[in-house]
Structure 1
Amino acid sequence: MKYVVLIHSNPQPWGHPTIDHTPEGQAVPAEQRAVMDREFDALLTELHETGEFVVAEALASPASSTVYRWDGDHHVATDGPFAETKEQLAGFFLIDCATRERAEAVAARFAGPGDTVELRPGMVFDDERLGADDVL
């Protein structure tokens, strides 16, 4: 089953890793940060070794985005960010786990100072209409 781990953050200035650019992340003592870095590296190694890692991408600043909307009979483009919200999508990891419980355990390990992590299952596409409960 595929799941996307969405990382939401508000780094100022925008940058990656987000922990380097949030007040919460910058407040982490160097020794604790070194431990967190090793734990994150171990998580990525584990996901690669188990075959659960699919792809990941850090995203550029929301200010660099373009938003497209439908306005009656045509598309309208506006400069980003898309939402009037403090936290923006900073990046994502696509994982492929055998169970939701495993995906939840993995997603929890992505949560760090100044970030909010969302786990969302992918949907299955086939010849039938999909409902809200149809997930990978």
Structure 2
Amino acid sequence: MKYVILIHSNPQPWGHPTGDYVTENQALPEAEREQLHAEFEAVMAEMSERGELLAGEALGDPAAARLVRWDGGAVVTDGPYSEAKEHLAGFFLIDVESQERAEQLVAKFAGPGETVELRPAMWPGGEDQ
């Protein structure tokens, strides 16, 4: 079963890893931040070793995004969204045995003050993978 882990963020200033720019994370003692980072690196290594991690990318500054809307033709404007405070900061594509495994993994992606979304991937025909 394929899932996409979507990392949502509202850091000011913009940067990666997003947790370094979130107030709740910055308020933690340095040792706790280092522990969270080590746990994240461990889950990334585990997913790689098990063949579950298919892809992942941090996304660039949303100020550089362009939004394409249809208005009698494609119209390109600054993006990503008007009036949005949160934006998509990055994603990971995983292939796991079950939804329970996906939920177990995604729980390790959400740090203090962060929002992470787990969404099933679909085939081009619309069926869940």
TM over 0.5: yes
* Structure with bigger gyration radius: 1
Unaligned runs of 5+ in 1: none
Structure 2 stretches lacking a partner, 5+ long: none
Q: Distance in 2 between matches of 1:81 and 1:48?
A: 31
Displacement of 1:83 in angstroms is 4.3
Equivalent residue runs for 1:21-36 within 5 Å: 21-36=21-36
Partner of 1:96: 95
> TM-score, length-normalised on structure 1?
0.90
1:67 counterpart residue number = 67
The answer on whether the counterparts of 1:19 and 1:112 sit within 8 Å (CA) in structure 2 is yes
Q: Which portions of structure 1, spanning 4 or more consecutive aligned residues, are displaced by more than 6 angstroms?
A: none
Q: Deviations over 1:34-69 (max 9, x none)?
A: 111110111011001111000100011111100000
Residue equivalent to 2:128: 135
Cα deviation, residue 80, structure 1: 1.2
Alignment partner, residue 16 of structure 1: 16
Alpha-carbon separation, structure 2, partners of 1:111 and 1:61: 20
Aligned residues: 129
Cα RMSD, aligned residues only: 1.2
TM-score normalized by the length of structure 2: 0.94
Q: Find the residue that maps to 2:34 and give its secondary structure.
A: helix
